Structure 1
Amino acid sequence: MDERSLRVLEFSKIKEIIKAYTQTAAAKELIEELVPYSNVYEIRERLQETKEAVELLMKKGSPPFEGIHDVREGIFRAEKAATLGSADLYRIGGLLRVARRFKDYVAHKEDEEAFLVLEDICEGLVPLKRVEDEIFNAILDENEISDRASETLFNIRRELKNKNGSIRDKVNELVKKNSKFLQENLYTIRGDRYVIPVKAEHKGAVPGIVHDQSSSGATLFIEPMSLVQLNNEIRELMLREKAEVERILAQLSKKVHDNIAIIKNNSKIIWKLDFIFAKAKYGSEIRGTCPIISEDGSFYIIEARHPLINPEVVVPSTIYLGGEYTSLIITGPNTGGKTVTLKTVGLLQIMGMSGLLIPAKDNSVISCYDSIYADIGDEQSIEQSLSTFSSHMKNIVYIMDKATEKSLVLFDEIGAGTDPVEGAALAAAILENLRARKTKILATTHYSELKGYALNTPHVENASVEFDVETLKPTYRLLIGIPGKSNAFEISRRLGLKEEVIEAAKENVSSNTLLFEDLIMKLQKKSIEAENNARETAMLKAEVAKLKEKYEQKLYNIQKNKDNIVQNAQREAKSIIKAAKEEADEIAKNIRELERMGYDNDVRSKIEEQRRRLKERMENLESNMAEKEAEKGKKLKAVVPGQEVLLASLNQKVIVQTMPDSKGDLQVQAGIMKITVNISDLRAIEEGKTSSKQKISKREVNLNLRRAATSIDLRGLDAEEAIYNVDKYLDDAYMAGLNEVTIIHGKGTGILRKAIGDLLKRHSHVKSYRLGEYSEGGSGATVVVLK
């Protein structure tokens, strides 16, 4: 990738922002080295890892980086078998803990979506729980070794504590005893030895070893002879403590050295994960999306936003290039946003190719280029110096020497800075040379000649930035397919220039030019209207899609509930039949017992008759249940569009819309909805068949089989769902023989209560209804009396 283009397009600023999201210096270095990847596979892989990291952040929260440090220096020393300090060991322990936790962080359950790229990266992490535990058991923080690091260290420190207590008691006695010879009635420590501050003139009164004196010489710090032995013992214990600590650190360092290959590999993976999650956090911050990568040099970036512009003021712009067009010539007024458009395209391409999410809408497309070349200057005026023109021309020469069919070239005000006629001719020649090589080009210009070049040259498209002549301000919106209008006359008129002066100016412009400018203005207006209509159409289409999805889900729920109800009823009926049979068998058994007890033949004959009748009733009940399924109609083997059939699963008439496919699936219309069903679920409708008998028998069976709760809770449902549930519930309650039921709808805004009241007014099973009493839920519940 061309380094000058990366600098001009300010990719380094993006990287500096991402660095702020890292945890380690190693990850910052990875970001500093980040450049666009050179092949499509690598780009897609790096984008996927960033996308997965964003999803993990949203699903599981912050990654487990707590306690992570850059331990490269410690790992380097451990490789050389050096003894590490407590700080290095503690940080390496933190690295091992992070590595172990990351294995759990990226893991997913069987019913959850997998994070394939991140899981593959974390596959290389090897937990060293034993080494980690030994480090943290021995080291409390970067500067403190635990008393429990070893039994020897524990004993030494306990003895040292006792000795210090003894010597403090002793030295306090000496301070009291010699207080008249001391500068102050206290003791201090010099060189790990307890001393007392003796006045210089009384040094002979306190025999001992002089360790120090004050700056004035008036005070001597003397170790009394009676403390020498105790101080020596403390000093010895301190040396033993130091030796034991060094032994512990050496032992832990050896364990790190023995596992250095694993630790080193874990560290590299953790640095990479730190780098990936920094990209993800930045992507979330800019509300970035994962772009689709094309390989033909085309791009289609939807509502692109420049990431370095304040998100509150940036104007999104949709930019595309591809298909039959390889060049886009953008025209428009100064400060109209042409340069920002170029920089946005270039920077978003670089970001996407570097594995970063881009600030644009979903389904945006970028391409994989071998390089992106940009000649973009800060100067916007055409009154540029010759030296500036020469500088730009030097860049253009370099670009023309390097650009290929797989390159993207960005020219800002191409040909500006010299004579307009020569500049326009030169710009057209440069663009035509690159176009002939099939290089992808975005160029901005003021030259009207280049508008004509774009109109008359194949594979070249015009575009313009919109300008509002009413407010004399640019809108920063890009209009592709329409060249820009200069608006010089309109702007001058708005600013108060006299009409005669404007008319005189128009006489100096050819009629063809004026007609061309008027045509551009009309095209702009039509394009804006078409774009607004397209936006409204897209919004309506999205709303229709949502409604369709909502009602399809409702229909699915209805079908599912109906299937469950039928299955439950069948199970309950079978259970009753089974119980009845068992009861009949029990009766037969009792009959035989009664016979043995001496009942006569006449009684026996009557009991046998009752048993036979009970058995026949059970068999008839089974037969009736089998007939219920057959009553739905005859299964259909073939249907034709327009035919009215019965959808068995919903027990509803539908109209066939399409012929069945190879699997038997076809589309039918149920009311206002079109749904896909299988032909096996369709039944023929028998003409003239009455359903009154079915209703009666269903009523009789359900009276025995149906059970219903005495209340239903509707809180949390919308009005439509609530009405459906209440209607079904009242049927169940009526069939179960309930006299009074309670509908719990909550108080809320009262919308749900009103909807339920409207339903109850006209429901066939409702005798009367009222709001609940205080003990019944008040206005949050409705009590219904059934007929």
Structure 2
Amino acid sequence: MNNKALKVLEFDKIKAEIAKYLITTRGNTLLKKLMPMSVESIVQRLIDQTKDGADILRIKGEIPVRKLADLHDQANRLKKDGNLNGTELAQIGQVLQNTTELKEFFAGLKDDRIDLRQLYELNDKLIDNPGLTKRISRSLDDTGRVLDTASDDLKYIRGRISRLNDQIRQSMEQYTRGKNTKYLTEAIVTLRDDRFVIPVKTEYKAKFGGVVHDQSASGQTLYIEPQAVVGLNNQLHESQVSEKMEEVRILNDLSDLVRPEIDEIVKNNEVLAQFDLINAKAKYAREIKATEPLISKDHVVDLYNAKHPLIDPDKVVANDIKMGDGYKTMLITGPNTGGKTITMKTLGLIQLMAQAGLFIPAREESEIAVFDEVFVDIGDEQSIEQNLSTFSSHMDNIINIIHKVSGHSLVLIDELGAGTDPQEGAAIAIAILEKLAQSHCFIMATTHYPELKVFAYNTPETINASMEFDDESLKPTYRLLIGIPGASNAFNIAARLGMDRSVVDRGQSLMSGESQDLNNMIADLENRRKEFEQKNAQLQVQLSKNKDVQKDYEQKSDALDKSKASEIQAAKVRANQIVAKAKKESDKIIDHLHEMERKGSMVKEDQIISAKTGLKNLHQDETIKKNKVLRRNKRKQVLKVGDDVKALPYDQIGTIVRKNNDNEFEVQLGILKMKFGAEDLEKVQSTEPEPEKKPTMVRRTRSTGLSSKLDLRGERYEEAMSDLDQYIDAALLAGYNQVTIVHGFGTGVIRKGVTNYLQRNPRVKSFGYAPASSGGSGATIVDL
């Protein structure tokens, strides 16, 4: 992109905002080089990088880049066989450490299955060097100070220095305490020439012997190293020299280790700087609430709610800007200070930002085209030195544009044809537009000439636009109106400000017929636009209501489908549990009988009946089970003593007389008391008003579905005994006093079995054969 466009559209100010978020030296260098690109694949890659950075910023906080220095000077010195100091080596160590950290960071993103478009590939360019990284981190801290762990010799020397310091201080304490303090100007130990000394009054300089290292300005104090510590100070000095030599050796060794790896380390630093810049672009996008621009496949510009990023967000007006679909030239007319130039700059700057890989201050799904150049002629660039007038300056710029423009260029011209005679200016403006249009470039121009409004109306691929003006407040609204030329508001404004009506009327009469017709056309268009906007607003309100109704319906439908699916799934789960439990119980009964058979024991008749009854009890009526599972949600009621309930396994009504625990209740069923789990009870809802509380009454109920006669004829023995056992239980629950068991004559086996069973059952009061008229010995009447 040409520098003039970047300067006029203030692209550098955007980069200055991004720079606030950079932390690496090399990142700032990359930002200075940041330019809009004209190759679509490169633009898309840069946008993808910013999108990845924005996603990471939202999910993980940000890419963990450290504050890193530029390593080019260090690299040049190492390549010339020079050695680095501790600070420079520490900076290299930080790059290596940050490389390791980013490798681990992106591995974690992959583990979390976070999709990224570009940054995994960028991270792959980092070359980890764990051995060198560990060696530097063990040898230097972040400031470049050599650590004790750098070598065993250094650790030993520093330990010796520490011990000598302690010995010297202990020896010096005899001079700063007790009677010797009277010979000192101050009872302290200090340093001169890296040697421990005491401040002695001049008249007592021979008192302690030793070496004089310094004298105060007044001459009253001598800084003396007492003879008693001279030897220790000598040892300390020797150890300090050894320490310096060992530190230099360590730094030289580290330099030799880094030297062959420096090119890869510098490349790592470059990649880390790219991550830093991506972080900064993502943070700036978040600050201005920018969105990802989409590159149009049809080379059109379609911006929704586009805002100029450098204007106060509380004051800037958003506009929809569209070009390329049906028209490539837009002529914006309207009064001064109405926002024409800002609208033009908004389009240009957003294009530059997008082509530099930045997010744009527009609504999501906004599309940009990739231009090979953006040409601008905005503002008064009159040059006194070159003796160019305003018109000459504009013509010079436009001539340059005409020579360089292509079919993939964007041209922005402010006040086209201004600065000369209006009639000539309008004519040259039309000629310029026709010449530029021959290259099929995109053009946005502003003008005050009414002739250009007619030109735009009659020329293919050209459209009028204007900045809205409020006739009531006499102020611009800064809204871009595409398809409507700007009306002349001079007479309206003058009249509303109090100008004499005769003056206004005289001015209007002096206008040519064409101008009057044009103004009438514009006024008619404006009225139609306002009418359309009013109806459109009403339709939008109704559409919003319809969408709310549809959304509510879809939510309820989804909820119903989910509830249905949930109930079916719950029923299936419960059914499977019941089947598994029944199978387990039946297997247990059969295994018990088999065990008795294997042991040679005689299986008694009552045991067979009991086993058969147990197997029969495992079966439950399908309707009951379905009800128990599918209607469980309806039975989620609190059960308490005194409630009327239905015992689902027996389909009988009873009353809760005791609560044993949270899930077990004792229920009075007729003359029986039985225990049930809460899931086997269903609360009976009464439609009658609740009576006053009275002592619990036990009621005997009669089931209308149970016959008073059981016919066992034709059944096998075990099946007949099982049916008899179940029938007697049901008859007791139904409240029957007497029942008839029809067993027939046959071989007499079932009749004998019935007799044996009735003799054992404690609930049977008495029994005997039926009268001859009722079956005789083929039936037994039982009193319960």
TM-score by length of 1: 0.75
Task: Note closer, same or farther for the CA distance 1:135–1:712 as it changes in structure 2 (3 Å cut).
Answer: farther
Task: Give the corresponding residue for 1:212.
Answer: 214
CA contact (8 A) 2:90 2:136 kept: yes
CA contact (8 A) 1:479 1:527 kept: no
Amino acid of the structure 2 residue aligned with 1:59 = I
Q: Secondary structure at the match of 1:235?
A: helix
Task: Give the corresponding residue for 1:632.
Answer: none
Task: Quote the Cα distance in structure 2 between the aligned partners of 1:478 and 1:735.
Answer: 79
Task: Give the corresponding residue for 1:123.
Answer: 124
Amino acid of the structure 2 residue aligned with 1:36 = P
Structure number with greater Rg is 2
Task: Give the corresponding residue for 1:584.
Answer: 586
Deviation at 1:612, TM superposition (A): 6.5
Amino acid of the structure 2 residue aligned with 1:49 = Q
Task: Quote the Cα distance in structure 1 between the aligned partners of 2:555 and 2:540.
Answer: 22
Task: Quote the Cα distance in structure 2 between the aligned partners of 1:362 and 1:89.
Answer: 46
Amino acid of the structure 1 residue aligned with 2:22 = T
CA contact (8 A) 1:298 1:322 kept: yes
The 10-residue stretch of structure 1 (169-178 or 458-467) with the greater mean CA deviation from structure 2: 169-178
Q: Secondary structure at the match of 2:446?
A: strand
TM alignment of 1:216-231, pairs within 5 A: 216-231=218-233
Task: Note closer, same or farther for the CA distance 1:345–1:532 as it changes in structure 2 (3 Å cut).
Answer: farther
Task: Give the corresponding residue for 2:199.
Answer: 197
Task: Give the corresponding residue for 1:156.
Answer: 157
* Structure 1 counterpart of 2:294, from 292, 295, 301: 292
Task: Give the corresponding residue for 1:430.
Answer: 432
CA contact (8 A) 1:156 1:240 kept: yes
TM alignment of 1:31-430, pairs within 5 A: 31-106=31-106, 107-109=108-110, 112-174=113-175, 179=181, 181-200=183-202, 202-204=204-206, 207-294=209-296, 296-378=298-380, 387-430=389-432
Task: Note closer, same or farther for the CA distance 1:3–1:579 as it changes in structure 2 (3 Å cut).
Answer: same
TM alignment of 1:453-532, pairs within 5 A: 453-531=455-533
Q: Secondary structure at the match of 1:116?
A: coil
Task: Note closer, same or farther for the CA distance 1:204–1:401 as it changes in structure 2 (3 Å cut).
Answer: same
Deviations 1:83-128 (A, max 9, x none): 3222223232222232222234334356744113111111122333
Task: Note closer, same or farther for the CA distance 1:570–1:223 as it changes in structure 2 (3 Å cut).
Answer: closer
The 10-residue stretch of structure 1 (295-304 or 531-540) with the greater mean CA deviation from structure 2: 531-540
Deviations 1:731-767 (A, max 9, x none): 9xx9999999x9xxxxxxxxxxxxxxxxxxxx99697
Deviation at 1:560, TM superposition (A): 3.5
Task: Quote the Cα distance in structure 2 between the aligned partners of 1:302 and 1:225.
Answer: 87
CA contact (8 A) 1:332 1:338 kept: yes
Deviation at 1:607, TM superposition (A): 6.0
CA contact (8 A) 1:708 1:736 kept: no
Task: Give the corresponding residue for 1:778.
Answer: none
Q: Secondary structure at the match of 2:389?
A: helix
Q: Is 1:2 aligned with 2:2?
A: yes
Q: Secondary structure at the match of 1:467?
A: strand
Deviation at 1:232, TM superposition (A): 0.9
Task: Quote the Cα distance in structure 1 between the aligned partners of 2:652 and 2:561.
Answer: 21
Task: Quote the Cα distance in structure 2 between the aligned partners of 1:80 and 1:540.
Answer: 77
CA contact (8 A) 2:574 2:629 kept: no
CA contact (8 A) 2:348 2:412 kept: yes
CA contact (8 A) 2:96 2:128 kept: yes
Task: Note closer, same or farther for the CA distance 1:504–1:210 as it changes in structure 2 (3 Å cut).
Answer: same
Task: Quote the Cα distance in structure 2 between the aligned partners of 1:29 and 1:596.
Answer: 93
Q: Is 1:703 aligned with 2:628?
A: yes
Deviation at 1:287, TM superposition (A): 0.6
CA contact (8 A) 1:171 1:187 kept: yes
Task: Quote the Cα distance in structure 2 between the aligned partners of 1:567 and 1:704.
Answer: 10
Task: Note closer, same or farther for the CA distance 1:738–1:458 as it changes in structure 2 (3 Å cut).
Answer: farther
Deviations 1:203-230 (A, max 9, x none): 4555433323333444433333333221
Task: Quote the Cα distance in structure 2 between the aligned partners of 1:704 and 1:552.
Answer: 28
Deviations 1:419-452 (A, max 9, x none): 0000000001000111122121000000000001
TM alignment of 1:2-41, pairs within 5 A: 2-41=2-41
Amino acid of the structure 2 residue aligned with 1:459 = E
CA contact (8 A) 1:703 1:735 kept: no
Task: Note closer, same or farther for the CA distance 1:284–1:170 as it changes in structure 2 (3 Å cut).
Answer: same
CA contact (8 A) 1:67 1:98 kept: no
Deviation at 1:156, TM superposition (A): 1.7
Q: Secondary structure at the match of 2:311?
A: coil
Q: Secondary structure at the match of 2:314?
A: coil
TM alignment of 1:720-739, pairs within 5 A: none
* Structure 2 counterpart of 1:558, from 544, 557, 560: 560
Percent identity between the aligned chains? Answer: 39
Q: Structure 2 regions of 5+ residues with no counterpart?
A: 639-647, 663-682, 691-784
Q: Secondary structure at the match of 1:358?
A: coil
Task: Quote the Cα distance in structure 2 between the aligned partners of 1:27 and 1:416.
Answer: 43
Deviations 1:402-422 (A, max 9, x none): 111111100100100110000
Q: Secondary structure at the match of 1:416?
A: coil
CA contact (8 A) 1:702 1:735 kept: no
Amino acid of the structure 2 residue aligned with 1:31 = L
Deviation at 1:295, TM superposition (A): 5.2
Q: Structure 1 regions of 5+ residues with no counterpart?
A: 625-696, 714-730, 743-762, 771-787
Deviation at 1:555, TM superposition (A): 3.2
Amino acid of the structure 1 residue aligned with 2:341 = T
Deviation at 1:598, TM superposition (A): 8.8
Deviations 1:51-96 (A, max 9, x none): 1111110111132124544444334444445432222232322222
Task: Quote the Cα distance in structure 2 between the aligned partners of 1:279 and 1:464.
Answer: 34
The 10-residue stretch of structure 1 (145-154 or 394-403) with the greater mean CA deviation from structure 2: 145-154
Task: Note closer, same or farther for the CA distance 1:764–1:525 as it changes in structure 2 (3 Å cut).
Answer: farther
Task: Quote the Cα distance in structure 2 between the aligned partners of 1:77 and 1:202.
Answer: 55
Task: Quote the Cα distance in structure 2 between the aligned partners of 1:186 and 1:110.
Answer: 62
Size of the aligned set, in residue pairs, is 649
Task: Quote the Cα distance in structure 2 between the aligned partners of 1:520 and 1:180.
Answer: 105
CA contact (8 A) 1:289 1:357 kept: yes
Deviation at 1:528, TM superposition (A): 3.6
Task: Note closer, same or farther for the CA distance 1:506–1:617 as it changes in structure 2 (3 Å cut).
Answer: same
Task: Quote the Cα distance in structure 2 between the aligned partners of 1:766 and 1:9.
Answer: 81
Deviation at 1:189, TM superposition (A): 1.3
Task: Quote the Cα distance in structure 1 between the aligned partners of 2:684 and 2:331.
Answer: 71
Task: Note closer, same or farther for the CA distance 1:225–1:54 as it changes in structure 2 (3 Å cut).
Answer: same
Q: Secondary structure at the match of 2:335?
A: coil
Q: Secondary structure at the match of 1:374?
A: strand
